Structure 1
Amino acid sequence: MSIAENIARVREEIARAAREAGRDPGEIVLVGASKMNDAGACRAAIAAGIDALGENRVQEMVQKLSENAYEGAPLHFIGHLQRNKVNKVVGHVDLIQSVGSLSLLEEIEKTAAARGLVQDILLEVNIGREEAKSGFLKEDLPAAAQAALSMEHVRVLGLMTIPPADAQREENIRYFQEVQALYVDINIKMFHNGLKYLSMGMSGDYADAIRAGATMVRVGTAIFGARDYSK
């Protein structure tokens, strides 16, 4: 199937899941996770009406920016971001979804201040408490949000999470529900209902994420096809 056909199929599934949860399908933002797909694939997704494109790797993103791959759609950075690569991302993307440490938050603030801009971000939640994964533990999230609120050059628009890869479906759903509860709580108590995005769910579980309250899903292989990691 073509990228356009895949996007249409994913949107049908998004609509079905949203309706099952009594929600408006129009409130779900579809981000095409375009890692390891070339500029042509990105342009095809944009032509087919993708809401945004998301990149995981800074070097790949920089290359595709030079090829005008994202023209016509917002660009998100959705992968692990190292502090020494923040300068290549801040101001070049519409949203950084993966801000999962205070040191990274501070580096983004410093770089955005130097460039005279405000960078939109999501705070990443390490809901599975995985030692090898970045993200704030749920008990540390309020302090991280408070730190971000004190900064003049970052703007928190919501939360993002990735459940453990080996979690069973029932566990996944519970993780999604936990983060949705965190989102509602922090939105009311700290952001006065100003948050917009709860980013959770990928190709294998985005329908469950939507039923649990996601407003943004990051879908790669279901749109672009299986990635070839041998290259």
Structure 2
Amino acid sequence: MRKETIVENLNAVGERIVTCCNNCDRNPAEITLLAVSKTRPAEDLRIAYAAGQRHFGENYLQEALEKQEALSDLDIHWHFIGPLQSNKSRAVAERFQWMHTVDRLKIAQRLSSQRPKNLDPLNICLQVNIDGEQSKSGIAPQDLAALAREVVKLPGLSLRGLMAIPAERQGISAQQEPFARLASLLQHLREEFPSETMDTLSMGMSGDMEAAIACGATIVRIGTDIFGARNYSA
């Protein structure tokens, strides 16, 4: 994609965030824009970085590691946001700052044991299957608290909050419904585990970002509206 287009798109998304925050009485500084860069070439990430973007989300581990090598001169905050097989957890533990898709204790335990002692704790979100879709990963809402009780005990990890990908809905009111449920789940966790660091709701993408922010999102994961339609055949 042309450099000018990526920069223009980043600016447009930033303006959407500001407008939405103004409409729901929130501070735009509370929102982290996570540029979802899966299938995009490293040069596109470099362009976005030069325009001020620092947080990038990757779904595919091998692709992400190749980009990390190509962009090692940049101070990027790397987020892993895809499903992770337990036998590939070490690379995430060693090379990322955030992991958004923890949905079972085994993965958390491996990330904990494999996180290098010289690094800050790995920030993690527990992924909730908020709509109970069989096609999506995530823990069931009723099982969330039990998982959280075990995860908070693990060294090398910082449980920051929750992540979800709701079923697609039309209209902002319908979109807000699952986001409001996720926000309520986080509030219950905060009451059981008081912590200044359990502050994250990773929710909202290009098509439902406004609804997510209105319901308390702190990280919005935006790909298409920054980098354009993805090319999965490349």
Q: TM-score band (shorter)?
A: over 0.9
Structure 2 counterparts to residues 156-195 of structure 1, below 5 A: 156-164=159-167, 166-169=168-171, 170-195=173-198
Q: 1:35 & 1:188 partners in 2: Cα distance?
A: 35
Deviation for aligned residue 1:124: 0.8
1:230: Cα distance to partner? 2.8
Q: Is the 8 A contact 1:52 1:75 kept in 2?
A: yes
Q: Give the Cα separation in 1 of the matches to 2:219 and 2:78.
A: 14
1:142 matched to 2:145? The reply is yes
Unaligned ranges ≥5, structure 1: none
Moved more, 61-70 or 76-85: 61-70
Shift in alpha-carbon separation, 1:187–1:15, aligned structure 2, 3 A: same
**Which residue in 2 is equivalent to 1:84?**
87
Q: Percent identity?
A: 36
Separation in structure 1 between the aligned mates of residue 71 and residue 196 of structure 2, nearest angstrom: 35
| 1:10 and 2:9 matched | no
Q: Contact 1:125 / 1:137 at 8 angstroms: preserved in 2?
A: yes
Give every structure 1 segment of 4 or more consecutive aligned residues whose post-TM-superposition deviation is greater than 2 Å. Answer: 115-118, 166-172, 191-194
> Does the aligned pair in 2 maintain the 1:80–1:98 contact within 8 Å?
yes
1:47-87 CA distance string (max 9 Å, x none)? 11124001010010011111126822211111111111111
> Which residue in the other structure is 1:52 paired with?
55
Judge conservation of contact 2:56–2:76 (CA < 8 Å) in 1: yes
3-state SS of 1:90 partner: helix
**CA–CA separation in structure 1 for the residues paired with 2:135 and 2:108:** 19
**Partners in 2 of 1:13 and 1:119 — Cα distance?**
30
TM-score (norm 1): 0.93
The 3 A distance-change label for structure 1 pair 171 and 104 is farther
Amino acid across the alignment from 2:69: S
